[in-house]
């Protein structure tokens, strides 16, 4: 099971929000240095998010991302505002191992099918949910009351084997992941799930590790690492 540090980018800085939109805190003005730090600490995979892209639909931190990809030797995945096949292709060509699709994947099923056919396992869908409903456009709005479980089943139907699940109300709160919903999605879909949102302690990692046999394939950790709730080497003991 992968333990994946998150690097959220806004205006070229490493930041964290609470629930994706409030209480912004800048942790670093040097994202490359942050990436190198996590790799030095033992990270085998990094999760990058272009928050400017997520909010506006147009990635704004690609030069920073490209520089990280150029200098970091572990695989990187990137999400946030990647809403054109040409952009996805360019990002993958710049050394990103996998692209995370969110808003565009929900809003345009033809785009999603084309992306899957063209890029296969180099794309993964982020299912961002609030109270069981899919959120889009930087988590600012719901999408036609789309049920997260129904959407996840659709992803399985068209050929996906894994997804990233984020409870947007948990993200950045350090209140623990939504274990109940993760269990429900695992049971309903049979998909592998990378869990994200709310990780606050080693106990949370222990609870998710217990679901590895059921399909939890990774855990994205953000604020807990930046706030020193535990270290990455401690977290990696659960990998």
Q: Which residues are catalytic?
A: 8, 128
Question: Three-state SS for 89?
Answer: helix
- Other CB atoms within 10 Å distance of the CB of residue 141: 10
Q: Can you say whether residue 129 is alpha, beta or left, with left for phi > 0 and alpha for psi between -120 and 50 degrees? A: beta
Burial grade of 21 (CB within 10 A; 0-12, 13-18, 19 or more)? middle
User: Measured between alpha carbons, how far is 22 from 147 in angstroms, rounded to an integer?
Assistant: 25
Given a contact cutoff of 8 angstroms between Cβ atoms, the answer to whether 217 and 161 are in contact is no
């Amino acid at each position: 099971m992968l333990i994946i540090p998150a690097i959220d980018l806004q205006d070229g800085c490493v930041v964290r929000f609470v629930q994706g939109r409030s209480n912004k805190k800048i942790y670093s003005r040097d994202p490359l240095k942050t990436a190198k730090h996590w790799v030095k600490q033992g990270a085998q995979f990094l999760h990058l998010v272009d928050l400017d892209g997520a909010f506006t639909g147009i990635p704004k931190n690609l030069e920073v991302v490209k520089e990280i990809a150029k200098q970091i030797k572990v695989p990187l995945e990137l999400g946030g505002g990647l809403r054109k096949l040409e952009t996805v292709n360019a990002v993958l060509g710049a050394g990103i191992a996998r692209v995370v699709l969110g808003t565009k994947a929900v809003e345009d099923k033809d785009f999603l099918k084309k992306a899957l056919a063209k890029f296969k396992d180099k794309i993964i869908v982020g299912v961002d949910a609030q109270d069981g409903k899919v959120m889009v456009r930087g988590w600012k709005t719901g999408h036609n009351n789309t049920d997260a479980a129904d959407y996840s089943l659709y992803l399985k139907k068209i050929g996906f084997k894994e997804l990233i699940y984020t409870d947007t109300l948990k993200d950045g709160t350090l209140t623990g992941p939504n274990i109940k919903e993760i269990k429900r999605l695992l049971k309903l879909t049979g998909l592998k799930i990378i869990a994200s949102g709310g990780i606050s302690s080693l106990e949370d990692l222990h609870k998710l590790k217990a679901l590895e046999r059921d399909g939890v394939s990774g855990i994205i950790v953000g604020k807990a690492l930046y706030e020193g709730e535990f270290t990455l080497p401690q977290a990696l003991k659960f990998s």
